[in-house]
Amino acid sequence: MPVSPDKAQLDRVANPQSGTDYIARFTVPEFTCLCPITGQPDFAHFVIDYAPGAWLLESKSLKLYMFSFRNHGAFHEDTTVMIGKRIAATIKPKWLRIGGYWYPRGGIPIDVFWQTGKMPKGLWVPPDQGVAPYRGR
């Protein structure tokens, strides 16, 4: 198990359907990291949508990368964008969006969104990521 996000390796594999535009979705419903101020655990539900190019994100390496945040302290916004940028740098997708749906810290839920690239024309993407606004998720 990687001890930190910097030490974790994200792997990619060749996309056997690279000539076809489509969307792939990863859902990480039990993400944990630490609050950089208090050291208390933070919890989030991540949804990652992307239109692959030549590369796919290898799922086991994603699982281990996400696990590597368990003892890492970072703010919600930084964590969400950091994950999105790392995935984008690894697989160079045509388009990627990440939604970090964070459970309340101090009574306030924080949802963070980031995207990069241009979605190919003609692709169907659900209008939302299926995670309801916080109401005791």
Catalytic residue ranges: 35, 42
- Reading phi first (left if > 0) and then psi (alpha if -120 to 50, else beta), residue 87 is in alpha
Evaluate whether 49 touches 125 at the Cβ level (below 8 Å).
Answer: yes
Residues ≥6 apart with Cβ < 8 Å to 16: none
The Cα–Cα gap between 33 and 39 comes to 9
Phi, psi of 51, rounded to the nearest 5 degrees = -100, 105
